[in-house]
Structure 1
Amino acid sequence: MNETPAGAQRTISQRLDALPFTRSHGRVLTGSGIGWALDAMDVGLISFIIAALSAQWGLTKGEGGLIASIGFAGMAIGASLGGLLADRIGRRQVFALTLLVYGVATGASALVGGIGLLLVLRFFVGLGLGAELPVASTYVSELAPARIRGRIIVILEAFWAVGWTAAALIGYFVVPGSENGWRWAFALGAIPAVYALIVRWGLPESPRWLAGRGRVAEAERVVADFERSPALWRRGSAPAPAPAPAPAQSAPAVAPATGAAASATPETPAPERLEPVRGGRLAALWSAEFRGRTLSIWVVWFCVNFAYYGAFIWIPSILVDAGFSLVRSFAFTLIITLAQLPGYAVAAWLIEVWGRRLTLSVFLLGSAVSAILFGTVHAEGAIIASGMALSFFNLGAWGALYAVTPEIYPTSLRATGAGWAAGVGRIASIVAPLLVPVLLLAGGSGLTFTVFAVFFLAAAGATWGLVDRGGKALDDR
């Protein structure tokens, strides 16, 4: 691997961080967000489909949990492999591959006639979805200006609420509409993947990754395109540097930057040197420098995944078991889902005011309180109110988590670190749907959601083992 000149990497990083939010940033955020929303729509739809198939196919609780968990098993493997591949072959290529796998498997799921084939296809859907999320957050964070990076990642994560809301709408209007309603739900989930795949191929590769691989001329061209792009939002950003002409392909180093990049102060952190890691990238996550933050972020991801997927995958079925009709339980779930968007909005504002760790821990504490309330109330109004609070705090926490995760590692390890954290989290999302029927049988919804609250509290405590890189250059280790 070619070694990146230190000055080249520093110049590219400084110029990216000095930019306002441009039209090119908007394209990156929207293109990545579409894929993010598709992921959410698929995960959300399966909760409605499980409830419908339980009635139509006579599925047991264990079989329903298996359908949910097999997808998360694929997501665990996909997240781990996706991060490693993204650090090796690039962010954009992995995006396209994940969407292709997801689209084909989701479309084929609409044609299945039994649980066996559905389980196989759900595993492949999980492979695509699992690799998508950590790579997307890594990619967007590497292009976002440092001053608003956390806010942009929370906005990216807010596309999850858009997709989950779409799933709730399809679940309410389409799934119970006919015997084949669940098949149409799968078909609707596959169609937009074609569009997202086209959008993704139109996005640029991460210039930080390109520079780290010695492809400096390509990185320079991407940065110059962003510098020429019209500004959409300048608040809180330094004046954009004057556009720099792209060097010739054969240029061994970059030309001196102009504008803000050229006037960088000595306080600007030195770039990381992307030297080969002894033992590989995974071993580097557990080196003396990173082991504390790796352990903390893995604990947070594991606990949040366990509580979130354990709760939200089963909420429609839990409401049906509580005596509400299928349509009415789906309507309650739709209303609860709508609270996700304000949760993201508040987290997006607080993350640059309070910082990453405080915002994440406060939203996790709010999730714990909401989970206890949801598990103990019985009146319709209280169920909806506590469910909306759970959505608000839990999804705000997800936004903060996706913002902090890529920032705690340097460029050479960023996608690997984010991918393995997500992969460890997916282990919990495999276990939780299988464990929920056992918890419900042992102590009802009260015990079940108390367990979720304990996991939220453990995650809140683990956040304080992370580093907070709010407003700092990504290359600052």
Structure 2
Amino acid sequence: MSEPRSIAERLDDLPFTRKHRRVLTGSGIGWALDAMDVGLISFIIAALTQQWGISSGEAGLIASIGFLGMAIGASLGGLLADRFGRRQVFAITLLIYGIATGASALVGGVAVLLVLRFFVGLGLGAELPVASTYVSEFAPARIRGRIIVILEAFWAVGWTAAALIGYFVVPASDDGWRWAFALGAIPAVWALVVRWALPESPRWLGGHGRAAEAEVIVASFEAEAAKLPAATIQAAATPAPPAHAQAAEKASGADSAAAGTAAARPTASASRLAGIWSRELRGRTLAIWIVWFCVNFAYYGAFIWIPSILVDAGFSLVRSFGFTLIITLAQLPGYAVAAWLIEVWGRRLTLSVFLIGSAVSAILFGTVHAEGAIIATGMALSFFNLGAWGALYAVTPELYPTSLRGTGAGSAAGFGRIASIIAPLTVPLLLAAGGSGLTFGVFSIFFVVAAAATWGLVDRKGQALDDR
């Protein structure tokens, strides 16, 4: 008589069902609302520069204080998600940054805005790694990477929404930026949907002694799968068997599985943060921290400042916002191509190719001046950069076992947010020293370093998640 199949095996072998779609969409909408908030601040900074006469230093501080909150939030969010559950922390983070964003509509000066932007960042930073961890733990092994890239594609939807609000709402009146902030309060409402309409991760429940609750959730997914056509179910059952056989295998293969389990699982004397720096995991942790740092620096340094850079170049506020909107539209095809390639080429190759494409695009964007060239190179930067983000969010949770997954993903994101704090403050100095050519040349170097670091990661394409 065969042994009963584990929760993880049953989840990995499922076809993609309506319940999977509900988890992906529910999380994706939260992700899009995150992006809308982050994107809006770039337009609002440009408007406040004209209305309040804030300096470039103050503008950089407004952007950076949010990223300081994100750095703290990302690290705390991962730890809390491993302790209290993915869904619970996901909903709380949406509530925090939604309320803080809505309150920002009422501010009358820079000081209060800075305080609220910190709390916005706290919620945003905690939400992103938790959401990717949450969805990855539901996704079938054979399409897990693709599903996470699709989740990340919701970022482009949110950033496009921010560009539309920036183009139509922010310049419409002196209070346009206030209305933009008011729209950013929507996540507070969506938090209720996440809390009550989405299930908790069965992998997390199983790892915390709540097997009965996990069984109910997995059984409901299996019942949904039973309603699908037989051909769909058969297609889901054909992936390569090494997925489960290799679930606990080490990247190096040098140590025994038992030693790996001891290294990976946090104990009473070894915290979760110490666990991600164990002998087994330290190499991939270092590599993913470098990638996150470099990508954050280049992405936020560029995209937070693009509207203001275009205004400084002589374009009107409305025209620069229009250019930014067009550039933003290239994000969606970037995600679409990355979502396809990630299950064909694998995580590392896809990520490194998109990062090299980002490096080339950054150099070109920083050296052109004609309107058509600005739009074309800006769209290329959007395409490659956001495709890289999709691959990065797909690979990060896969590097760690379930007991450390939230902590590992959250700490990498938190370390990356340090770069997103530094970048907005650095851009004015780079622009003053050498203009957009030097500024985007520096971004290109960061993209190249990130591309090199990807080869220190473990590629788990088609394999089951490590459920230790």
Both structures adopt the same fold (TM-score exceeding 0.5): yes
Q: Which residue is equivalent to 2:44?
A: 49
SS in 1 for 2:464: coil
2:303 is the counterpart of 1:312: yes
2:372 is the counterpart of 1:377: no
TM-score under structure 2 length normalisation: 0.93
**What whole-Å deviation, never above 9, does each CA across 1:399-430 have from its counterpart, x for those lacking one?**
00000000000000000000000000000000
CA distance in 2, matches of 1:280, 1:19: 33
Map 1:228-267 to 2 at 5 A: 228-230=223-225, 238=234, 267=245
Q: Which amino acid aligns with 2:98?
A: G
Question: Displacement, 1:264?
Answer: 9.8
Q: Which residue is equivalent to 1:354?
A: 345
CA distance in 2, matches of 1:233, 1:312: 45
Map 1:389-468 to 2 at 5 A: 389-468=380-459
2:8 is the counterpart of 1:17: no
CA distance in 1, matches of 2:35, 2:347: 23
* Contact 2:246 2:463 survives alignment (8 Å): no
**What whole-Å deviation, never above 9, does each CA across 1:447-477 have from its counterpart, x for those lacking one?**
0000000000000000000000011010278
2:69 is the counterpart of 1:78: no
**What whole-Å deviation, never above 9, does each CA across 1:372-419 have from its counterpart, x for those lacking one?**
000000000000000000000000000000000000000000000000
Matched pairs, number: 451
SS in 2 for 1:461: helix
Residues 98, 177 of structure 1: alpha-carbon distance in 2 compared, 3 angstrom cutoff: same
CA distance in 2, matches of 1:87, 1:221: 21
CA distance in 1, matches of 2:231, 2:39: 35
Residues 115, 439 of structure 1: alpha-carbon distance in 2 compared, 3 angstrom cutoff: same
* Contact 2:203 2:467 survives alignment (8 Å): no
Q: Which amino acid aligns with 1:323?
A: G
Residues 101, 130 of structure 1: alpha-carbon distance in 2 compared, 3 angstrom cutoff: same
Map 1:58-69 to 2 at 5 A: 58-69=53-64
Q: Which residue is equivalent to 1:247?
A: none
Question: Displacement, 1:198?
Answer: 1.8
Q: Percent identity?
A: 80
Residues 47, 266 of structure 1: alpha-carbon distance in 2 compared, 3 angstrom cutoff: closer
Residues 466, 213 of structure 1: alpha-carbon distance in 2 compared, 3 angstrom cutoff: same
Residue in structure 2 matching 1:343, options 325, 334, 354: 334
2:95 is the counterpart of 1:112: no
CA distance in 2, matches of 1:354, 1:151: 12
Residue in structure 2 matching 1:164, options 155, 159, 166: 159
CA distance in 2, matches of 1:64, 1:326: 16
Q: Which moved more, 1:189-198 or 1:149-158?
A: 189-198
CA distance in 2, matches of 1:239, 1:434: 51
TM-score under structure 1 length normalisation: 0.91
**What whole-Å deviation, never above 9, does each CA across 1:68-103 have from its counterpart, x for those lacking one?**
000000000000000000000100110111011011
Q: Which amino acid aligns with 2:317?
A: L
CA distance in 2, matches of 1:158, 1:65: 27
Residues 178, 406 of structure 1: alpha-carbon distance in 2 compared, 3 angstrom cutoff: same
**What whole-Å deviation, never above 9, does each CA across 1:196-232 have from its counterpart, x for those lacking one?**
4323431111000111111111111110011111567
2:125 is the counterpart of 1:127: no
Q: Which amino acid aligns with 2:196?
A: W
CA distance in 2, matches of 1:51, 1:96: 31
SS in 2 for 1:370: helix
Q: Which residue is equivalent to 1:296?
A: 287
Q: Which amino acid aligns with 1:367?
A: S
**Structure 2 segments unaligned to the other structure (5+ residues):** 250-260
Q: Which residue is equivalent to 1:472?
A: 463
SS in 2 for 1:64: helix
* Contact 1:31 1:196 survives alignment (8 Å): no
